[in-house]
């Protein structure tokens, strides 16, 4: 029997799954690690934490599955996008990695836009300069930490640092490279013009493969550390969203996914590199060779719910520990006690700034309409509704481009929760379905490994063979009408606060 491993280097932890050739999950493991915020708007991690988590989870899935390591025929890699790992001439990490949700580079984004030109930037990369992207981080390093910048010899994305540790090879793939602002998305190659304009050495960027292509083999040292065979193939893999697109079967027209993790992503397949005219949607290469995708990204979706749990949910966390259940179950159960619209309480989920549809690092969270009548149930419901309204912002942009949408697939926290699935169906005004597998990017790159090593002829074939719909949630017509009004009101609030967000940022600085 052939087995495949998928590794997803996430923001909260690294998840590793082991599947068989038919896509059945045999074992999974997750190891969490810290996220550091040494200054306001900063977000960093230690790449060594990712590596230790990778080794530990590989060993765990091998032990838990009981399979023979020699039966593992391939490994796929996924990870949080845009993060910058800077290596020196000895391939050592120079400083902590700067992550996708770091907002320190607003001035560098402006610098890049002025240097390249807004329209030219779109032509070269298919995207505007955003604070989360990789190129602004490189420019920030040059501007603020020149001693570190002078040492740089390679810039790797998070999953590609793990690839280097596994195989000794410097490599990336087209979907993750698309989020660097240094990649020609249309032609699926590094943009030499962008690198020249920004004075970034081309040799800093690793070769870019298509996602199912084999990019290296497991080294002897790592084989000993993990228990896997020497020479196990490692395929290109994918940035977490493209990999999640594969894991959710978003590999053909008409299917859209709503993924609620730390961030929130609305993701749709595209045959061609289409663009939203104002650049509010990302246009990236897909993990399907020769295909593309568009997506809207909100920075603090499940992250907002986690903030509520950690800050205001101590009672539910303690109760969940005693009952040995997930505290989110207790929080959502309490939210159900409040009516749709939370009796006029609106939550803006901009706890880490925002990206889609407002590329604004200064945006902040707001509870609007709070009154003496509101209780904890209202606050929880408002948080969940506000997150879902934010997801609808991206959905509306996709609809405005007349992209065909026959089906919405929910995954992440919003797919696991019955209440949140219904909330999405009611706010989107569309049926929402779930599939038989909810391991997201890790499952997606395990399928890519199966394609790259010959078990399946194509990504589409792998998805068709392993993914099926298991549940459908239809919208409640009464709630659809209620939420239509509340969504329009929610959507108007950012414009009301936009200038105040900027004034507050100046005040705090």
Give residue limits of the domains in the chain.
Answer: 3-298+440-470, 302-434
Helix axis angle, 158-167 to 47-65, nearest 10°: 60
Asked if pLDDT for residue 508 goes beyond 90, the answer is no
Q: Are strands 183-184 and 189-190 parallel, antiparallel or unpaired?
A: antiparallel
Let me know: does 169 contact 163? Beta carbons within 8 Å: yes
Instruction: Evaluate whether 3-298+440-470 and 302-434 have a shared fold.
Output: yes
Arithmetic mean of pLDDT, 370-380: 97
Map 387-408 to HEC letters.
Answer: HHHHHHHHHHHHHHCCCCEEEE
Q: Which residues pair with 234 in a beta bridge?
A: 75, 216
| pLDDT digit string, tens, across residues 438-473 | 888 999 999 999 999 999 999 999 999 999 999 999
What is the model's pLDDT at position 381? 98
Q: Residue 473: in which H helix or E strand, if any?
A: strand 469-473
Q: Which residues pair with 265 in a beta bridge?
A: 259, 297
The band of 262, judged by pLDDT with boundaries at 50, 70 and 90, is confident
Name 220's Cβ contacts closer than 8 Å, sequence gap at least 6.
Answer: 230
pLDDT tens for 300-339 read: 999 999 999 999 999 999 999 999 999 999 999 999 999 9
Q: What share of the chain has pLDDT > 90, as a percent?
A: 92
**Which phi-psi region, left, alpha or beta, contains residue 156 (left: φ > 0; alpha: ψ -120 to 50)?**
beta
- Nearest Cα to Cα of residue 240 among 306, 178, 290: 178
- Tell me whether strands 238-239 and 72-79 are parallel, antiparallel or unpaired: parallel
Q: Residue 237 — pLDDT band, cuts 50, 70, 90?
A: very high
C-alpha 203/C-alpha 406 separation (Å) is 43
pTM for the model stands at 0.90
- Write down the number of H helices and E strands in the chain: 19, 24
Full DSSP string of 159-208: HHHHHHHHHS---EEHHHHGGGSSEETTTTEE-HHHHHHTT--GGGSPPE
DSSP code of 157?
A: -
* pLDDT, average across residues 345-368: 94
Token representation of residue 27: 């074992």
379 pLDDT more than 90? yes
- Top-confidence residue, 184 or 39: 184
pLDDT tens-digit map of 164-173: 999 999 999 9
Measured on CA atoms in the order 471, 476, 481, 483, is the torsion positive or negative? negative
Preceding amide of 357 cis, omega within 30: yes
User: How far apart, in Å, do the first and last CA atoms of the chain sit?
Assistant: 59
Residue positions counted in the chain: 509
Q: Which of 235, 197, 273 is nearest to 451 (CA)?
A: 235
339/345 Cα distance (integer angstroms): 11
**3-298+440-470, which class in CATH?**
alpha beta
The answer to whether residues 32 and 13 touch, using CB atoms and an 8 Å cutoff, is: yes
β pairing state of 292-298 and 282-285: antiparallel
C-alpha to C-alpha distance for 210 and 416, rounded to whole angstroms: 31
pLDDT, the chain, mean: 96
Q: Return the pLDDT at 126.
A: 95
Q: Which helix (H) or strand (E) holds 136?
A: helix 134-144
The predicted pLDDT at position 474 comes to 96
CB 96 within 8 A of CB 42: no
Q: Give the pLDDT confidence score for residue 2 in this predicted structure.
A: 95
Surface-to-core class of residue 222, CB atoms within 10 Å of its CB (0-12 exposed, 13-18 middle, 19+ buried) = buried
Residue 351 tokens read as 């706890």
pLDDT at position 393, please? Answer: 97
pLDDT 10s digits, 7-34: 999 998 999 999 999 999 999 999 999 9
Q: Look at residues 259, 417, 392, 415 and name the one whose alpha carbon lies nearest to residue 332.
A: 417
Q: How many CA atoms lie within 13 A of 165 on its CB side?
A: 23
Query: What is the per-residue pLDDT for 41?
Result: 85
Second CATH level (architecture) for the domain 302-434: 2-Layer Sandwich (3.30)
Per-residue pLDDT at 509 exceeds 80: no
CA 141 to chain centre: 24
Provide mean pLDDT across the span 34-46: 92
299 by DSSP, 3-state: which?
A: coil
Question: Where in the sequence numbering do the catalytic residues fall?
Answer: 240
């Amino acid at each position: 029997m052939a087995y495949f491993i998928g590794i997803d280097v996430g923001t909260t932890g690294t998840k590793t799954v082991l599947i068989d050739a038919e896509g059945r999950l045999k074992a999974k493991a997750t190891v969490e690690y810290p996220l550091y915020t040494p200054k306001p708007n900063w977000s960093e991690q230690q790449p060594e934490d990712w590596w230790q988590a990778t080794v530990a989870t590989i060993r765990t899935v091998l032990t838990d599955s009981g399979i023979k390591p020699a039966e593992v025929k391939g490994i796929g890699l996924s990870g949080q996008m845009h993060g910058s790992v800077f290596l020196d001439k000895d391939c050592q990490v120079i400083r902590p990695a700067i992550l996708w949700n770091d907002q320190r580079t607003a001035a560098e984004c402006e610098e890049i836009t002025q240097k390249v030109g807004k329209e030219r930037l779109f032509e070269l990369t298919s995207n505007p300069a955003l604070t989360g992207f990789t190129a602004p981080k490189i420019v920030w390093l040059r501007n603020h930490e020149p001693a570190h910048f002078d040492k740089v010899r390679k810039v790797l994305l998070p999953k590609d640092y793990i690839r280097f540790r596994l195989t000794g090879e410097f490599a990336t793939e087209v979907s993750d490279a698309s989020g660097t602002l240094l990649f020609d998305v249309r032609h699926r190659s590094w943009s030499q013009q962008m690198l020249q304009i920004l004075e970034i050495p081309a040799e800093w960027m690793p070769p870019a493969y298509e996602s199912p292509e084999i990019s290296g083999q497991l080294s002897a040292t790592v084989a000993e550390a993990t228990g896997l065979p020497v020479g196990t193939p490692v395929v290109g893999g994918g940035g977490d969203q493209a990999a999640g697109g594969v894991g959710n079967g978003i590999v053909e027209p008409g299917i859209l996914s709503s993924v609620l993790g730390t961030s929130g992503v609305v993701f749709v397949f595209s045959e061609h590199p289409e663009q939203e005219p104002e650049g509010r949607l990302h246009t990236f290469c897909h993990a399907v060779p020769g295909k593309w995708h568009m997506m809207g990204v909100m920075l603090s979706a499940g992250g907002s719910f986690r903030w509520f749990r950690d800050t205001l949910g101590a009672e539910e966390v303690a109760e969940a520990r005693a009952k040995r259940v997930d505290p989110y179950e207790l929080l959502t159960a309490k939210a159900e006690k409040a009516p749709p619209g939370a009796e006029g309480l609106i939550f803006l989920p901009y706890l880490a700034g925002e990206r889609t549809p407002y590329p604004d690092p200064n945006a902040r969270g707001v509870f609007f309409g709070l009154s003496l009548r509101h209780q904890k149930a209202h606050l929880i419901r408002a948080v969940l509704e506000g997150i879902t309204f934010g997801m609808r912002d991206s959905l509306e942009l996709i609809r405005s481009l007349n992209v065909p949408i026959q089906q919405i697939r929910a995954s992440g926290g919003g797919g696991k929760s019955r209440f949140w699935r219904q909330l999405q169906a009611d706010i989107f005004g569309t049926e929402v379905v779930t599939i038989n597998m909810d391991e997201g990017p890790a499952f997606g790159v395990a399928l890519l490994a199966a394609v790259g090593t010959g078990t399946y002829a194509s990504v589409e074939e792998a998805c068709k063979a392993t993914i099926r719909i298991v549940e459908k949630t239809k919208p409640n017509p009464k709630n659809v009408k209620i939420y239509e009004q509340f969504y329009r009101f929610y959507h108007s609030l950012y414009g009301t606060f936009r200038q105040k967000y900027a004034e507050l940022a100046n005040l705090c600085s």
